[in-house]
Amino acid sequence: MAEEALQSETEVSKKHPVKEIPVVQDHGFFKHDTGDMYDGYFEAKKKDRTVKMHGPGVYTTAEGDCYTGLWDADKLGAHEEVSIAFVDGSTYKGLFKDWCYNNHGGYTYPDGSLLQCDFVDNCPAGPLKLTDPNGHIWLGKAEPGYGWFEPVNHFFEFLDTTRESNKVRRRHHKPPQPEPSLRKTSRTTKE
């Protein structure tokens, strides 16, 4: 009886073999009808006849924006840091989720200013740190709909904030000029 049970289990397993879906993973270059290009790893499923970006790769739009990072079934990010370079010269480096800046990242503006903060759905949130093109650091805070910055500078620590003065201070003080004389003087030379 035990032999019959073993034989029936073997027959059951032979009757229902597990069918594997053929999947091809490779590296390639694709140019879409829109002018967009992808250079990187992909995954092709023969059954569905689909090709999806999967693995490290660079997607360049027809306008020239470049999305670089790890792709997972046509989604950029996959819980890894990505790099995006826009045509206007701005860049983003950080985490990316559902086509949005998400979590900690840095956005560099075309003028070279760097904003470092946490992002929530493309919006800065919480503490902000902005380094302007001159290297000056501005700290701030962002809340939904707005944000503000204050400069961080070693000179600000030395300013006397308690003293009030009504006196106007001039940075570039010109020395008083003598009034021109109304008399004409003539010079004579001795021989």
pLDDT in tens, 132-172: 998 888 999 998 888 888 776 555 555 455 445 555 555 55
- In the prediction, which pLDDT does 20 show? 67
> What's the whole-number mean pLDDT along residues 10-28?
69
Q: Are 128 and 139 in contact (CB under 8 A)?
A: yes
Distance in angstroms (rounded) separating the CA atoms of residues 171 and 93:
42
Token couple for 24 = 């091809």
Under 8 Å CB-to-CB from 178, ≥6 apart: which residues? none
Percent of the chain predicted with pLDDT > 70: 68
pLDDT at 129 exceeding the cut of 90: yes
- In the prediction, which pLDDT does 147 show? 85
**Given the DSSP bridges, would you call strands 123-131 and 137-143 parallel, antiparallel or unpaired?**
antiparallel
- In the prediction, which pLDDT does 146 show? 84
Q: In the 8-state DSSP scheme, what is residue 140?
A: E
How far out from the chain centre does Cα 79 lie? Answer: 15
Residue found under tokens 């070279």: 112
